[in-house]
Amino acid sequence: MRMFVTRIVLALRKFYHWSVAQIAFGFLTALKIFPADSAINFADRLMRWLGPKTKRHRLMLVNLRNAFPEKSEAEREVIALASWGHMGRLAAEYVFLDQLFDIDPEKPGEGRVEVSGVEQFLDLRDNPRPFIVFTGHTANFELLPVAGAAFGLFVTVLFRPPNNPYIAEKVFEFRRKRMGNLVPSHAGSSFALARQLEQGGGVGVLVDQKFKKGLETQFFNNPVRTNPLLAKLARQFDCEVYPARCIRLPGNRFRLEIEPRVTMPRNDKGQIDVTATAQMLNDKVEAWVREYPEQWLWYHDRWDIKRTI
């Protein structure tokens, strides 16, 4: 009897994931009927209307209250609504990414995408060596590895698959065609990244995700757990580390920035300090978020507070 109930539960869960995926795929397919700008702007408006009706909206407001206690409730509500809009844009941009990403390395300054720090791209491409590029969930962060590939710089990207297996499969296929080598986040992912660095290649990681077994650090003056993976890889291979981010601009345009290499904090023995490095990563992402707060995904439970609200 217990086995029968378990099978029923698993079947219902599978059907739920399948149903959600079909709705999402159907919506994105329908967007293809319209011009890119119209579809992306519509997705923005739709999520601004739909988002506040979900339970995640309450979590977003709590996150914003903890991050920006100096702002009024009205100001935080404006940021939350804009963040929902940016999430809608992110989903719609998947449909039109090939059309939106019209960058031509031979024609800088033209098209929807501008790049700041091209010299960093070219140096890493033309002088191969192990390196790590890190970013956060700001604007359309998916564009960064696509841009690297456009400049001939291929990076092994660590990513966390969506919980829905049907959506995860589609997203993986989409990313694989445009971003090159992908490493799903799981128990053995660190070994795959280490092999890439050992072979003199580059890796890319998102550093603003919750990690329950991570290091005790601060983010917006609140305690968080931060994944030590980047710091440990940097210490093991003593490789260069570069911050990079995407910024949404008016008119459905983007600016991609790769900043100069960061100086890694070291301990008394001259080794990279893992905890101090984790804090440095948080500080960099926090600075980005403070500049464009509406472009970060506030619905993530970065501070592990969901169970308390």
Q: Are 281 and 132 in contact (CB under 8 A)?
A: no
Angle between helix axes 73-100 and 55-67 (nearest 10 degrees) is 110
Q: Are 302 and 219 in contact (CB under 8 A)?
A: yes
Q: What is the pLDDT of residue 187?
A: 61
Angle between helix axes 36-50 and 2-31 (nearest 10 degrees) is 130
pLDDT band at 176 (very low <50, low <70, confident <90, very high): low
pLDDT band at 133 (very low <50, low <70, confident <90, very high): very high
Contacts of 199 (CB under 8 A, 6+ apart): none
Q: What is the pTM of this model?
A: 0.87
Give the residue with greater pLDDT, 45 vs 169.
45
pLDDT band at 148 (very low <50, low <70, confident <90, very high): confident
Tokens of 224: 């968080």
Pairing of strands 215-219, 222-226: antiparallel
pLDDT band at 212 (very low <50, low <70, confident <90, very high): confident
Q: End-to-end distance of the chain based on CA atoms, in angstroms?
A: 36
Q: What is the pLDDT of residue 55?
A: 87
Q: What is the identity of the amino acid at 56?
A: R
Does 152 have pLDDT greater than 60?
Answer: yes
Interior/surface letters 168-187, b for 16+ CB within 10 angstroms, e for the rest: bebbeeebeeebbebbebee
Q: What is the pLDDT of residue 166?
A: 58
Which DSSP helix (H) or strand (E) runs through 113?
A: strand 113-116
Does 308 have pLDDT greater than 60?
Answer: no
Q: What is the mean pLDDT of the chain?
A: 83
- Residues 151-166 have a mean pLDDT of 72
- Sign, Cα dihedral of 234, 235, 240, 245: positive
Query: Shortest CA distance to 206 belongs to which of 130, 122, 297?
Result: 297
Q: What is the pLDDT of residue 224?
A: 92
Tokens of 230: 């980047």
Q: What is the identity of the amino acid at 111?
A: G
Q: Are 254 and 246 in contact (CB under 8 A)?
A: yes
Query: Shortest CA distance to 27 belongs to which of 53, 57, 58, 50?
Result: 50
Cα(162)–Cα(83) distance, integer angstroms: 19
Any alpha helices (H) in 32-139, and if so which ranges? 36-50, 55-67, 73-100, 118-126
The Cβ of residue 63 has, within 10 Å, a number of other Cβ atoms equal to 25
DSSP state of 17: H
Tokens of 64: 């914003």
pLDDT band at 85 (very low <50, low <70, confident <90, very high): very high
Q: What is the identity of the amino acid at 93?
A: E
Tokens of 54: 């979900």
Cα(80)–Cα(232) distance, integer angstroms: 34
